């Protein structure tokens, strides 16, 4: 059935070509209707992530998404209520994956700085694997603001939890508990801008240079330790 589709029929301008490299083969595996249904839905989500990652939310039309997913435009509306619906779903679904990844990779740090280092590196590992994630995250501020706020709040809350725990262990004696929230936003901010500059800075995808993460950790450790020179 999917084999019958002729992608050549597409009339989409290809000025911003959307890569098809990693399209899963959804029409093979599942047998039951429910399985197939899930497969198609995930396929659409995958395609939407690709498209948004490459051309942005604004240009992410149903036509482009369904073309990449190899389904008819009408099929889209069997799985999502509207264009906005899938755009709103994108960040939560990828955000969940990101948090899982970071959670797995940041186990076992014995103080905040160690934890932050692992989590920081895990974040950059994640965006190496899901290079579209970053654009999806950033543009969500305009195009899926609710999802964006929820994502930020979730991350910030996680940060706060760890900061508080370490604070209770006596780690940052120069700070007061009510200052920790601002700090959590500073740390999130930094990840983001370092990614803009060093990962995506020239249009291509690079791994974050090791010395940048070193500098980052040095600054964070100093900043949190909080000792002034005499």
Partner DNA sequence: AATGAATGAGCTTTCATTCAT
Partner DNA sequence: AATGAATGAAAGCTCATTCAT
Shortest spacing between CB 69 and a copy of itself, in angstroms: 20
* Angle, CA of 28, 33 and 38, to the nearest 5°: 70
227 phi, psi to nearest 5 deg: -120, 130
Among 169, 193, 205, 207, the residue binding a copy of itself under the rule CB under 8 A is 193
Of residues 2 through 21, those in contact with a copy of itself by CB under 8 A are 11
- The 10 Å CB-count burial string (b at 16+, else e) for 134-145 is bbbbbbbeebbe
Of 76 and 112, the one with the shorter C-beta distance to DNA is 76
> What is the distance between the alpha carbons of residues 39 and 50, in angstroms, rounded to a whole number?
16
Does 196 help bind a copy of itself (rule: CB under 8 A)? yes
Query: 140, 152 in Cβ contact below 8 A?
Result: no
Does 212 help bind a copy of itself (rule: CB under 8 A)? yes
Shortest spacing between CB 107 and a copy of itself, in angstroms: 26
Q: Which residues bind a copy of itself (CB under 8 A)?
A: 11, 56-58, 81, 135, 138-139, 141-143, 149, 152, 156, 174-175, 178-179, 182-183, 185-186, 188-190, 192-194, 196-198, 201, 211-212, 215-216, 218-229
């Amino acid at each position: 059935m999917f084999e019958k589709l002729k992608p050549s029929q597409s009339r989409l301008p290809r000025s911003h070509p959307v890569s098809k490299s990693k399209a899963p083969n959804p029409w093979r595996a599942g047998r039951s209707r429910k399985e197939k249904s899930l497969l198609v839905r995930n396929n659409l989500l995958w395609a939407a992530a690709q498209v948004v990652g490459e051309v942005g939310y604004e240009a992410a039309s149903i036509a482009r998404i369904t073309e990449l997913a190899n389904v008819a435009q009408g099929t889209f509306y069997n799985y999502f209520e509207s264009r906005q619906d899938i755009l709103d779903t994108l960040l939560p679904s990828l955000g969940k994956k990101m948090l899982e990844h970071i959670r797995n990779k940041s186990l076992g740090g014995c103080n905040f700085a160690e934890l932050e280092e692992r989590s920081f590196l895990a974040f950059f590992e994640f965006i190496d694997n899901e290079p579209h994630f970053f654009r999806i995250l950033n543009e969500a501020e305009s195009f899926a603001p609710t999802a964006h706020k929820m994502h930020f709040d979730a991350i910030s809350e996680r940060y706060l939890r760890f900061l508080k725990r370490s604070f209770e262990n006596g780690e940052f004696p120069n700070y007061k508990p009510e200052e920790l929230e601002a700090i959590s936003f500073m740390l999130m901010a930094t990840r983001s801008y370092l990614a803009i500059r060093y990962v995506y800075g020239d249009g291509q995808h690079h791994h974050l240079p090791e010395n940048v993460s070193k500098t980052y950790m040095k600054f964070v450790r100093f900043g949190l330790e909080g000792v002034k020179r005499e």
